[in-house]
Amino acid sequence: AVNMAAPNMEQRKACWGARDELWECLDRNNEDAAKCQHLRLSFESKCPQQWIKHFDKRRDYLKYKKKLETEGYSPLETTGKS
């Protein structure tokens, strides 16, 4: 990954763009990392190491939160439908 203390605007945009493409790919492919490997490499080459760690943690957190929300509410939905 690029080793930069303070990425400039252009580098930040490139990094965020790569992250968004990767995340969209993972969403579409049900978290199948193998299908998004090329985007992962692009993301890693465009972002500082620290950011990659941060974004990976952030994604795990968002997935976990989403899972809690969907699975947390599912019992209510099933009772409503029956």
User: Which mean pLDDT values do the consecutive 10-residue runs of the chain (82 residues) have?
Assistant: 70 97 97 96 96 96 90 59 48
Is 18 within a domain?
yes
Is 34 within a domain?
yes
- Give the range of the structural domain holding residue 31, as residue numbers without chain letter: 14-50
Q: So what's the pLDDT on residue 10? A: 94
Q: So what's the pLDDT on residue 71? A: 86
Q: So what's the pLDDT on residue 72? A: 79
Name the domain count of the chain.
1
**What's the pTM value of the predicted model, to 2 decimals?**
0.75
Q: Are 7 and 48 in contact (CB under 8 A)?
A: yes
Question: What phi and psi values does residue 48 have, to the nearest 5 degrees?
Answer: -65, 150
Phi-psi region of 4 (alpha: psi -120 to 50; beta: other; left: phi over 0): beta
Is 76 within a domain?
no
